[in-house]
Amino acid sequence: MMPAAQAEIAAPPASEGEWVKISTASALMNLTPSGVRKNCERAWEAQGLARKADGEWMIHRSADPRLRTTGYVNSRDLEQLADAAARRMKPRYLDIAKARKRVILAWERADKSPNVDIAFPRCMAGLLAEGGILEALGKAPAMTTVYRWQSDYAAGGIEALIPKSQKSGRGRWAQTGAKAIERLCHWMLGGSAMGFRPAYVTVAGEIELEHRNDPE
């Protein structure tokens, strides 16, 4: 009779679970099974990220970013949001986390040509025009902020994107977001000689200046 603890290990979860077989890890990581096995023996086992079940290595998905498939990531994020809601986290904080994730994914998919200094404001303007971002975040994030969100998200999922502070500057900017988008579109579509990035920065600065004394 197999001990209960061993029985649990010997029955690995489905492919979208926390642990995967070497065959799955090999395919997702584009490594040979031997290469994955070496990682298990040299590092992951000692880190608690690999273990043997019935003589076969099982690897935890957190061992390597390539093991986190889209289905797994989405499922994890939904579970984290549900857990946060169960802890009575304010809905607007969850909306902020979801908006931050939208920004991260949009920037990851964005065309970075001819360079990031031009591509980033172009990506953000398009995202803002879709709606929902300004209402949640209050203003368009800076590129350095998005990269920080990317790092947080990679490390801790959508839970890491939930604001830690109770203070948010979203109120003032949410009220003026439509005006910012309208002005930016007018500049860019009205034949202005100003480039995309200067227009983006100028509009953001004007809106901030005009509403600097508005209540939060």
Q: Which whole number is the average pLDDT over 56-69?
A: 88
The separation between CA 58 and the C-alpha centre of its own chain, rounded to angstroms, equals 27
pLDDT score of 174: 45
Banded pLDDT at 6 (limits 50, 70, 90): very low
Grouping H, G, I as helix, E, B as strand and the rest as coil, residue 12 is coil
DSSP string computed for 140-203: PPPHHHHHHHHHHHHHHGGGGGS-SSS---HHHHHHHHHHHHHHHHHHHHTT--S-HHHHHHHH
Dihedral pair phi/psi, residue 89, rounded to 5°: -65, 140
167-192: per-residue pLDDT in tens?
Answer: 344 444 444 455 566 666 665 566 55
Higher pLDDT, 7 or 54: 54
Torsion over CA of 145, 148, 153 and 155, rounded to 10 degrees? Answer: -170
CA 158/CA 178 separation, integer angstroms: 27
SS3 108: helix
At residue 153, the pLDDT reads 87
Assign domain 13-67 to a CATH class.
alpha beta
Domains of the chain by residue range = 13-67, 70-210
Going edge to edge, which strands form the sheet with 50-53? 19-21, 56-60, 50-53
Could you tell me if 123 and 106 are in contact, meaning their C-beta atoms sit under 8 angstroms apart?
A: yes
User: 124-155 pLDDT, tens per residue?
Assistant: 988 888 888 888 888 889 999 999 999 888 77
- The confidence score (pLDDT) of residue 15 equals 39
- Distance CA(141)–CA(206), nearest Å, equals 16
